[in-house]
A and B are shown apart, each in its own frame.
Chain A
């Protein structure tokens, strides 16, 4: 068959395909209306069959070495058809709800060993640093320089009317601090995760470094007069914040496990296999960090008696722990 005959014969199919593709890829609203309406069913009913025909035409045109422009046109149609046929459309809102209620805690439980490894990498240096800075007040200077130390001491000084804020930020409103915590803390979480892609070095460094700094500060500030300001301040939001950072670390370690221990797969396919689970963990951690930023900005600086704030902190911690132990157990995994 000559190319011209071929074109004449199948042009109607390609034209129809053009129309169907334009409608399917057009505005989402009109498309949803179409899908719900009865008439829409008829209109798109022929799409898969047309797509199959089109694939056939493309293969023919290619093997018969028809002119490149024709082949390119058919390829373009095939590519768009492929994308319309193999797309997945689900309600993201429902997905998000299911994820919070079940998917996220399930994912954390399934990857419990990475969570504990991440916790260990964070907690070990934190405990050691905390022990030394607690027993020896000068030790803190081997972790931070004196400007940073005096800033920390200022933040948790009982004289400071706004605990948890340094000299530059005493005048800031809680709302502004919320924005600051969101950006600062979630970025740390994301970077800790992304570090997994560098064979885990970035993740381990981030966890280790934050462990030393946070442990060191906690040890140093446990002494009077700072202790009674510091601990009530951090106890509440620490529940969500620290857990989320550990989970981000676990997500990074999962990525790294694909690269470092690919097993029988190539590194590339091992990576792609573990990536979805790691993404679930880091997105869940980001949501937790939003909650943590909210608590840190609006609840932690409150001037209620420490007993009340410790009680709330206890409540928050048990909430987090119970969530990860029990949520999503019934929802089939």
Chain B
């Protein structure tokens, strides 16, 4: 694939055996920190509930609580990552865990990345993990490095936007495919922008558009229809 301009975002690519590139957007320390916080809250509540009920059972109850605490400390993320692709905290924030080649997480990788949490935690509150994350381009903590996994943003599922129908109009001067795509991108994103902002952006293309905000915007819409639908 041609990527003429240098990369500005954190997307990384994996080329599959079919010769296409998957694009994955790794999640950084801040959003993962929040996800961890949510999970911590869930775990704390579960523990309080269980220990409340278990205290009625005496010695057996304490034993169950301790074993539960052990399992939750080490295996809570493993279970959720394997069956739901992400812990509840990660899900809420739109993250999921996968192998660095984009395939689904396997048991051994999930176990490995979560057992090595202890190393990431060292010496206190995920210091090592944080340093590891900011030192590599996929935001992998130590456990991720050993297990070859990444935490990525789930793709948003809004495929409904279409270029609105409008009488097409040819562009006054030839544009490269990449330039055409920028215009398409603008038209598709238009409904998420305010009217003023749309006008402002459309007006920037002085060599293509003339006149007021509204006119400039409609001109771009007409060009976009030309690119997508032709005459």
Contacts and interface: CB of A to CB of B under 8 A. Distances in A.
Contacts of A282: 115
Interface string B99-134: 001111011100110011111101000001000000
A198 B162 CA distance: 51
Interface of B is mostly: helix
B66 interface: yes
B228 A271 contact: no
B163 to A, nearest CB: 6
B119 A67 contact: no
Contact of A194 (B19, B118, B155): B118
A22 to B, nearest CB: 13
Given A2-B228, A76-B157, A67 B63 contact: no
A271 B128 CA distance: 17
Interface residues of A, number: 58
Contact of B59 (A55, A175, A202): A175
Contact of A62 (B1, B106, B187, B188): B1
Contacts of A76: 155, 157, 159
A172 B18 contact: no
Contacts of B178: 65
Interface residues on B, range: 35 or more
Nearest to B189: A68
Interface stretch (A178-186, A223-231, A310-318, A320-328): A178-186
Interface stretch (B140-148, B198-206, B207-215): B140-148
B16 A82 contact: yes
Interface string B41-67: 000000000000000001110111111
Given A55-B19, A68-B188, A82-B22, A279 B102 contact: no
B181 interface: yes
A87 interface: yes
A109 interface: no
Given A195-B119, A271-B145, A276-B108, A182 B70 contact: yes
7 cross-chain pairs, A with B, having the tightest CB-CB distances, nearest first: A179-B63, A179-B66, A173-B59, A194-B118, A197-B119, A183-B70, A65-B177
Interface of A: 2-4, 51-52, 55, 58-59, 62-69, 72-73, 75-76, 78-79, 82-83, 86-88, 92, 172-173, 175-180, 182-183, 186-187, 190-191, 193-198, 202, 255, 268, 271-272, 275-276, 279, 282-283
